[in-house]
């Protein structure tokens, strides 16, 4: 076994691979001298919306801001309850809080780690106004069931698609099923900028216009402010990078899926490790390859010792976070989340990984004896 270091990810590799088109895109923006809300963003907005199969895309400052502005645009008021999961990263609930909403957390399905739709109805009250399903790790939540419940109780659905660029559910793209879809283009996402960026996608032109105004100080026409807004824009430099990378997203995702399938096949006979499951009708894009083992601590240490970097997504569920103590009483609804959180581990998976790196991870994982100590 060679002892080469395999990092969890390496964003410089994508640049090396596409240096020419990225440099050209950047130079064009610099030479044009127009940096905020220009033609490059418009082009990226319409290209990405078309990729997702919807009409409108509104570029914003980050994925968190996409969720925040989308929730405001769908009429969340102070004290409105917004249903989401505790097995997500903090920005999902930070956005709900920003918008004045109260996060109501439901448990996850133990196979896909996404929202367990059968646990939603018990949490609906008079004050519930929206559901934020998170398409976690690269896989869509159970959108048919979520959509049915939303229709029954007249709730808005705002999809958190930050980890799901290119993921589909029964042939429909992430973000195209609810009222709005919210994307992050944080550098490490499946489609990443070289800084912060995000987008709200939707089908309704009035909603798109509302988000467009909210991201730009509440302006509707120049110097006319019909509402109190924010400054949350996707700049031309980032838009040009994203526009240059978008045509390659399919190939990145194809390679991610290929590596994931090789991993899963190789781990099949390991009775101490549970590989990720692709839910029925769902096309997983493996933003993360998350395995489960009750021996996480020693397993992670062993991998580290053999030069394989791993991460945990996420070590502390939302209701256990100091900033969200008010959510702690909801723990009684979150037994699957709480029992699985200590066992989840993300292995390295990125499009530029070589076959020999993939094999090194496989051999190292398979060589571990879970009965040994480290």
* CA-derived radius of gyration, the chain: 21
Element (H, E) at 173: strand 172-173
CB 281 within 8 A of CB 356: no
Residue 199 binds to ligand PLP (criterion: CB under 6 A): no
Q: How far apart (Å, rounded) are the C-alpha atoms in residues 315 and 338?
A: 10
Q: Is the peptide bond before 314 cis (omega within 30 degrees of 0)?
A: yes
Pick one of 45, 160, 179, 236: the residue that binds ligand PLP (CB under 6 A): 160
Tell me, residue by residue from 251 to 290, as one string, x for binding to ligand PLP by CB under 6 A and - for no binding.
Answer: ----------------------------------------
Q: How far apart (Å, rounded) are the C-alpha atoms in residues 235 and 244?
A: 14
Residue 232 binds to ligand PLP (criterion: CB under 6 A): no
Q: Which C-beta is closer to ligand PLP: that of 59 or that of 63? A: 63
Closest separation between CB of residue 51 and ligand PLP, Å?
A: 18
Q: How far apart (Å, rounded) are the C-alpha atoms in residues 258 and 253?
A: 8
Residue 114 binds to ligand PLP (criterion: CB under 6 A): no
Give the residue among 367, 371, 167, 374 at the shortest CA–CA distance from 260: 167
Candidate ranges 107-115, 156-164, 203-211, 243-251; the one touching ligand PLP (CB under 6 A) = 156-164
Closest separation between CB of residue 304 and ligand PLP, Å?
A: 23
Restricting to residues 58-97, which ones interact with ligand PLP according to CB under 6 A?
Answer: 62-64, 88-89, 91-92
The alpha-helical segments, DSSP class H, found in 53-166 are 63-73, 90-98, 143-153
Q: How far apart (Å, rounded) are the C-alpha atoms in residues 107 and 98?
A: 23
Q: Which C-beta is closer to ligand PLP: that of 314 or that of 333? A: 314
Pick one of 168, 184, 213, 253: the residue that binds ligand PLP (CB under 6 A): 184
Closest separation between CB of residue 194 and ligand PLP, Å?
A: 13
Q: Which C-beta is closer to ligand PLP: that of 103 or that of 198? A: 198
Residue 162 binds to ligand PLP (criterion: CB under 6 A): yes
Pick one of 163, 216, 232, 253: the residue that binds ligand PLP (CB under 6 A): 163
Q: Which residues, including other chains, have CB under 8 Å from residue 296's CB and lie 6 or more apart?
A: 312, 342, 343, 344, 345
Closest separation between CB of residue 228 and ligand PLP, Å?
A: 21
Q: How far apart (Å, rounded) are the C-alpha atoms in residues 138 and 165?
A: 8
Q: How far apart (Å, rounded) are the C-alpha atoms in residues 355 and 345?
A: 21
- The two three-digit tokens of residue 310, written as one number: 């791993």
Q: Which C-beta is closer to ligand PLP: that of 179 or that of 196? A: 196
Closest separation between CB of residue 141 and ligand PLP, Å?
A: 11
CB atoms within 10 A of CB 95: 28
Residue 112 binds to ligand PLP (criterion: CB under 6 A): no
Pick one of 181, 198, 276, 317: the residue that binds ligand PLP (CB under 6 A): 198
Which residue minimizes CB distance to ligand PLP?
63
Q: How far apart (Å, rounded) are the C-alpha atoms in residues 327 and 320?
A: 8
Q: Which residues, including other chains, have CB under 8 Å from residue 33's CB and lie 6 or more apart?
A: none
Burial of 350 (0-12, 13-18, 19+ CB in 10 A): buried
Q: Which C-beta is closer to ligand PLP: that of 276 or that of 365? A: 276
Residue 131 binds to ligand PLP (criterion: CB under 6 A): no
Closest separation between CB of residue 89 and ligand PLP, Å?
A: 5
Closest separation between CB of residue 274 and ligand PLP, Å?
A: 21
Q: What residue ranges bind ligand PLP (CB under 6 A)?
A: 62-64, 88-89, 91-92, 134, 160, 162-163, 184, 186, 196, 198
């Amino acid at each position: 076994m060679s002892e080469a270091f395999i990092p969890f990810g390496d964003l410089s590799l994508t640049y090396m691979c596409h240096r020419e088109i990225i440099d050209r895109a950047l130079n064009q923006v610099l030479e044009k001298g127009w940096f905020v809300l220009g033609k490059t963003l418009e082009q990226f907005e319409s290209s990405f919306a078309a990729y997702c199969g919807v009409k409108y895309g509104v570029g914003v400052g980050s994925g968190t801001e996409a969720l925040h502005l989308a929730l405001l645009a769908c009429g969340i008021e102070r004290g409105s309850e917004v249903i989401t999961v505790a097995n997500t990263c903090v920005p999902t609930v930070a956005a709900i809080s920003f918008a004045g909403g109260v996060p109501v957390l439901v448990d996850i399905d133990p196979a896909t780690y996404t929202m367990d739709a059968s646990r939603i109805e018990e949490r609906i009250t008079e004050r519930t106004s929206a559901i934020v399903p998170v398409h976690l790790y690269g896989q869509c939540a159970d959108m048919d069931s979520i959509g049915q419940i939303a229709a029954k109780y007249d709730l808005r659905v705002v999809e958190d698609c930050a980890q799901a660029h290119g993921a589909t559910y029964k042939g429909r793209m992430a973000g195209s099923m609810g009222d709005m879809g919210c994307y992050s283009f944080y550098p490490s996402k499946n489609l990443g900028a070289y800084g912060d960026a995000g987008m709200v996608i939707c089908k309704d032109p009035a909603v798109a216009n509302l988000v467009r105004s909210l991201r730009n100080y509440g302006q509707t026409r120049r110097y006319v402010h019909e509402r109190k807004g924010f400054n949350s824009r996707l700049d031309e430099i980032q838009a040009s990078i994203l526009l240059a990378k978008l045509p390659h997203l399919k190939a990145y995702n194809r390679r991610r899926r290929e590596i994931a399938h090789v991993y899963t096949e190789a781990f099949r006979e390991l009775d101490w490790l549970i590989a990720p499951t692709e839910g029925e009708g769902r096309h997983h894009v493996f933003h993360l390859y998350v395995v489960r083992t009750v021996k996480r601590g020693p397993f992670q240490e062993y991998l580290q010792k053999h030069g394989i970097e791993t991460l945990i997504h996420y070590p502390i569920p939302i209701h256990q976070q100091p900033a969200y103590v008010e959510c702690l009483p909801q723990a009684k609804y979150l037994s699957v989340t709480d029992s699985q959180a200590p066992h989840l581990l993300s292995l390295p998976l990125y499009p530029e990984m070589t076959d020999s790196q993939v094999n090194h991870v496989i051999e190292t994982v398979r060589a571990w004896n879970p009965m040994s100590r480290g």
